[in-house]
Structure 1
Amino acid sequence: MKNSILIIEDEDHIRKFVKINLERNNFEVKEAANGEDGIEIVRKEPIDIVVLDIMLPGIDGFQVCKILREEFPTLGIIMLTAKSQDIDKIMGLEYGTDDYMVKPFNPMELVLRVKSLIRRMEVNKEGFVNEMLLDGPFRIDIYSRKFYKNDKEIELTPTEYSIAKLFLENPGKAFKRDEILNLVWGFEFVGDSKIVDVNIRRLRAKIENDPGNPYYIETVWGIGYRWKDME
């Protein structure tokens, strides 16, 4: 079955150009010229990833992202932005995007970003053993891609889930930012490594008792991050 991508972009030539390149790579592509129509499409049809422009008529991309993330926590979202936009704002806690692209961009790079995000979202259910990752109060159900703290489910974006899984599989290991970038986003990712920091902040906000004084996700100064070994 083809993965379904929705492009929410008001500029017709950009939308059509992106659609052509995604369809050439065997994706099923749907289109919306504004945020309101895009939200309705996601509500009515199965969509895997939304490619979302920030500057839209009516409600902007930030608000669209916020609505979609609240209603569809596991939906993949890639934001399209101008060079002047601040990555911290694009990837901020209140929006929850998985990735971003700066205009103008190479359409093949967007295809690679989409494929990378899909890999983070995929679950191979054929013959899959129901495996659990356990560490302290945390539990990850690999089969269902669900994350729990003290048996209470915490909704994570696909990217946040991939980072959490990487940490729980490697407690006590210090990861450089570039290592996390390569292992989660893929070696073809050419964006700013700051995307790692923003996702770590988001993850801490969801799982730490005191995000301002994190206990589970430790900062290794000058290197990156480490999941506290609780054994």
Structure 2
Amino acid sequence: MTPRVFLCENNETFAQMLTFYLEKEGWDVTIFSNDASSLLNVADCPNLWILDADGEEWVNIMRKIQKKSTQIPIILTSEHEKTINRVWGFELGCADFIVKPFMPKELVFRARKILNRCELGSASELTEVARLQGYHLDLQRRIVLLDKLPVDLTSKEFELLCLFSRHKGIALSREQILKSVWGENYFGSDRVVDDLVRRVRRKLTDLEIDTVYGYGYRIVS
């Protein structure tokens, strides 16, 4: 199945250049204006969003995207390279953050890694359905069920649960979680891990996650 990529980019010329390189990969690319109102009538869901994080609208756009589906990965691009911007983007749930200027081939490389990771579900060692305490992880549909009812999770939250499922009873460092959930290209504070675990605990109240102080976290087996 051909991956579908939705692209929001402020610079029209740059958007056309990125589209050229993305389509060379055989991907189906659709360009949208970087305006939250332009997404109101978008009914379809792509395999990947690439969103320009410059300007005032990107946070609203990102939230509208996540409202339609929390499982679709989002790559943010920005001219601002401050660490706080990266951290903010990752805390909002982006899959990657690329600082401009960058070569289009770098974006293609990162997009390919994310699409491959999503296709494999970052859970290739698991069967199609995994059990984590009282929760069921449907790896094919990338949803979590409790008493046959779905729990609304972001892509990062789901990835964390997959990681815990593969390492029941084992203490995982923040660095290990960062590398598995955010990928090797993440640059920023490991405190985003704490925020992610906090959100998972709030949404999955029956899930027992131990804090290993000064190190990381462990799922109760």
- Give the TM-score range, shorter chain: 0.7 to 0.9
Aligned 8 A contact 1:5 1:48 in 2 = yes
The TM-score, its normalising length taken from structure 2, stands at: 0.80
The answer as to 2:10 corresponding to 1:10 is yes
Give the Cα–Cα distance (whole angstroms) in 2 for the partners of residues 137 and 208 of structure 1.
11
Counterpart secondary structure, 1:78: strand
The answer as to 2:77 corresponding to 1:80 is yes
The answer as to 2:162 corresponding to 1:165 is yes
For 1:83, the aligned partner's letter is E
C-alpha spacing 1:135/1:182, structure 2 compared with 1 (3 Å): same
Aligned 8 A contact 1:131 1:141 in 2 = yes
The 5 Å alignment of 1:59-98 reads 60-81=57-78, 82-84=80-82, 85-92=84-91, 95-98=92-95
Q: Segments of 4+ in structure 1 off by > 6 A?
A: none
Residue 198 of structure 1 and its aligned partner are, at CA, apart by 4.3
The TM-score, its normalising length taken from structure 1, stands at: 0.77
Residue 123 of structure 1 and its aligned partner are, at CA, apart by 6.0
Aligned 8 A contact 1:181 1:193 in 2 = no
For 2:25, the aligned partner's letter is N
Counterpart secondary structure, 2:158: helix
Q: Deviations over 1:158-183 (max 9, x none)?
A: 23212211102211112223323333
- Ranges in structure 2 where 5+ consecutive residues have no aligned partner: none
For 2:49, the aligned partner's letter is V
Residue 105 of structure 1 and its aligned partner are, at CA, apart by 2.9
Aligned 8 A contact 2:87 2:188 in 1 = no
Give the Cα–Cα distance (whole angstroms) in 2 for the partners of residues 196 and 113 of structure 1.
21
Report how many aligned residue pairs link the two structures: 214
Residue 191 of structure 1 aligns with which residue? 187
Q: Deviations over 1:67-124 (max 9, x none)?
A: 11112222221122321343342233xx432332222334333223212221332269
Counterpart secondary structure, 1:144: coil
The 5 Å alignment of 1:137-152 reads 137-152=134-149
Q: Deviations over 1:174-194 (max 9, x none)?
A: 22233233334445x253363
The 5 Å alignment of 1:30-69 reads 30-36=30-36, 39-40=39-40, 43-56=42-55, 60-69=57-66
Give the Cα–Cα distance (whole angstroms) in 2 for the partners of residues 46 and 180 of structure 1.
28
Aligned 8 A contact 1:132 1:140 in 2 = yes
Residue 24 of structure 1 aligns with which residue? 24
Counterpart secondary structure, 2:112: helix
Give the Cα–Cα distance (whole angstroms) in 2 for the partners of residues 149 and 100 of structure 1.
32
Q: Deviations over 1:201-222 (max 9, x none)?
A: 433332236xxxxx72333233
- Ranges in structure 1 where 5+ consecutive residues have no aligned partner: 210-214
Give the Cα–Cα distance (whole angstroms) in 1 for the partners of residues 110 and 199 of structure 2.
20
C-alpha spacing 1:179/1:3, structure 2 compared with 1 (3 Å): same
